[in-house]
Amino acid sequence: MRAHENQICRRRTRAMTTITVPQVVPSPVEDAEALMKAFQGWGTDEQAVIYILAHRDAAQRKLIRQAYEEKYNELLTDRLQSELSGDLQTAMGYWVLDPTERQAVIANAATKCIDEEYPVIVEIACANSPAELLEVKQAYHAIYKRSLEEDVAAGATGNLRNLLVALVSTYRYDGDEVNGGLARSEAKIIQADVKNGVTADHGELIRVLGTRSRAQLGATFNCFRDEHGTTVTKALLHGSDPTGYARVLRTAARCIADTDKYFAKVLRNAMHKSGTDEESLLRVVVMHAEKDLRAIKDEFHRRASVALEQAIAKETSGDFKTFIMALVGTSQ
């Protein structure tokens, strides 16, 4: 069953990817040699590095890493860290990793300051399919010799811990079947939980968010809106919340309810008038370029009335701009 889920995900991914790969691709050894040439001399040829790595898919990049290590007896990831700097260094460092390893590394960094970086954990837990989340957790365990769940539990406290552990621990049903009666009853449960505001531990809302399928939650959220004339996320805005916990609940609900809309909003916020949040920008682009960035781009355009490429071109510069634009499907 898991193999079938992965096959469906791969077909969907090919349709939604934004990177372009040449019809004729050099061998991994040739790419490794070209990268070494870019590293040598008076300064790194960042454009050459981008030209190669931004236009190779995950399987091709893995072969390049292997060829580079065998030929030069050093890790490509280490060499990139020493040759690049700034946001390009961060983005490229994530990009050359295997996609599941990349998410594991990003999740680990988030657990170190989870009160601020909780959206990263929410995104990994809620935007992935059950099979994909399981693969990320397996990669995390292989790299860090600990489970993602225990690091999340160690980094968070109180209600934040309860919610995030529930989200990363689940293996949701991934089909389209919905129980209408359950949706109506749980919409009422959520209303009672939300009505109590910050005095509640939101245990029932955590249970629902942490166990139900995306389709079931969609039905429950629709019932809530039909019954109360507002969305669950807007209902969570009511009242004061000195702990900020309602924001975490809203983040999880929004990410589950409509993943494309959620990430389009993250990108819009990352390129706000007050300044560019390069970390959020590169995280979304790097993590989704080979998965579903095309759909996110379409949603961004609908919401912002401007193409994502145009927004990025306006808010970024230099080699980082060249790299990110290549990943979103526009070479500079």
- The answer to whether 273 is annotated as binding is yes
* pTM (whole model) above 0.85: yes
Q: What is the mean pLDDT of residues 8-14?
A: 47
- Full residue range of the structural domain in which residue 157 is found: 100-257
Whether 91 is in a domain gets the answer no
Do 253 and 290 fall into the same domain? no
| Same domain, residue pair 310 and 204 | no
Do residues 232 and 289 share a domain?
no
Is residue 191 located within the same domain as residue 285? Answer: no
Percent of the chain past pLDDT 90, that is, above it, reads 79
Is 181 annotated among the ligand-binding residues? no
**What is the phi/psi pair of residue 272, to 5°?**
-75, 160
Reported as a pLDDT band with limits 50, 70 and 90, residue 11 is: very low
The pLDDT of 29-54, averaged and rounded, is 95
Looking at the domain assignment, is residue 270 inside a domain? Answer: yes
Quick one: 106 and 196 in the same domain?
yes
- Residue 275, annotated as binding a ligand: yes
Of 60, 84, 108, which residue constitutes the final position of a domain?
84
Same domain flag for 78 and 47: yes
pLDDT at 205: 86
On whether both 47 and 143 belong to a single domain, the answer is no
In a domain, 38, yes or no: yes
Q: Is 199 annotated as a binding residue?
A: no
In this structure, are 174 and 116 located in the same domain? yes
Residue 3 falls within a domain, yes or no? no
Closest CA to 127 of 254, 277, 17: 254
Instruction: Say if 44 falls within a structural domain.
Output: yes
Boundary of a domain, candidates 84, 112, 127: 84
204 in a known ligand binding site: no
Residue 197 DSSP one-character state: G
What single letter denotes the amino acid at residue 326?
A
**Does 136 map to a domain?**
yes
Q: Is 263 annotated as a binding residue?
A: no
276: left (phi over 0), alpha (psi -120 to 50) or beta: beta
**Is residue 83 a known part of a binding site?**
yes
In a domain, 94, yes or no: no
Residues 170 and 232 in one domain: yes
Tell me what the mean pLDDT of segment 311-324 comes to: 96
Give me the pLDDT at residue 120, please.
98
pLDDT of residue 5: 47
pLDDT at 252: 94
| Burial bucket for residue 198 (CB in 10 Å: 0-12, 13-18, 19+) | middle
Same domain, 73 and 116: no
Question: pLDDT digit string (tens) for 192-246?
Answer: 888 776 545 678 888 999 999 999 999 999 999 999 999 988 888 765 554 578 8
User: Could you tell me the CATH number of the domain that includes residue 219?
Assistant: 1.10.220.10
Instruction: Note the pLDDT tens digit of each residue in 104-131.
Output: 999 999 999 999 999 999 999 999 999 9
Across the chain, how many H-helices and E-strands are there?
21, 2
Q: Per-residue DSSP letters for 242-281? A: TT-HHHHHHHHHHHHH-HHHHHHHHHHHHEETTEE-HHHH
41 is in an annotated binding site: yes
Nearest Cα to Cα of residue 99 among 61, 149, 146: 61
Of 224, 257, 290, the last residue of a domain is 257
Number of domains into which the chain is organized: 3
Say if residue 66 is in the same domain as residue 185: no
Mean pLDDT of 279-301: 96
Residue 253 annotated in ligand binding: no
Identify whether residues 207 and 230 lie together within a single domain: yes
Q: Tell me, yes or no, whether 2 lies in a domain.
A: no
